[in-house]
Chains A and B, each alone.
Chain A
Amino acid sequence: MSNNKTIIFFLLLFPNIVLAQVSISRTANANMNVFSYMSFDVTSNGPLDFKFNNNQQLLDGVTLNNKFNVNVISNINWILNVSTLTSNFLAIGPQASTQMPPDILSIKKNTSNAFIPLNHNPNMVCFGYRGDQTSANNQFKLDIKATPGYTFNGGSYAIVLIFTLSVQ
Chain B
Amino acid sequence: MNLQKKTLVFILFVFLSLDKTQAQSFSYDLQSAALSFDYSTLSNFTTPRTIPKAFTLNIRNSNRGKYNIFCKIVSNSNENFGNIPLNLFSIKVNSANFTITSSYYNSTILGLSDVLVGNVTGRARKTDTIFYDLILNPLSFDFGPDNYNYSFIFTVTEY
Contact = CB atoms under 8 A, between A and B. Distances in A.
Given A8-B11, A21-B159, A28 B32 contact: yes
Contacts of A131: 140-142
Interface stretch (B36-44, B98-106, B115-123): B36-44
Given A8-B8, A29-B149, A21 B157 contact: yes
A11 B156 CA distance: 29
A143 interface: no
Given A12-B19, A30-B152, A35 B39 contact: yes
Nearest to A24: B156
Given A15-B19, A76-B145, A27 B151 contact: yes
A4 interface: yes
Interface in A147-165: none
Interface residues of B, number: 51
Given A15-B20, A16-B19, A73 B153 contact: no
B23 A32 contact: no
Given A31-B149, A76-B145, A19 B36 contact: no
Interface string A32-48: 11111101000000000
Interface residues of A, number: 34
A73 B35 contact: no
A34 B158 contact: no
B152 A32 contact: no
A120 interface: no
B155 interface: yes
Nearest to A73: B141
A2 to B, nearest CB: 13
Interface of A: 4, 7-8, 11-12, 15-16, 19, 21-37, 39, 73-76, 130-132, 135
A-B residue pairs, 5 tightest by C-beta: A26-B30, A30-B35, A28-B32, A35-B40, A23-B157
26 contacts: A8-B12, A11-B16, A19-B23, A24-B28, A26-B29, A26-B153, A27-B152, A28-B151, A29-B35, A29-B151, A30-B149, A30-B150, A31-B147, A32-B149, A32-B150, A33-B36, A33-B147, A34-B139, A34-B143, A37-B145, A75-B45, A75-B143, A75-B144, A130-B142, A131-B140, A132-B140
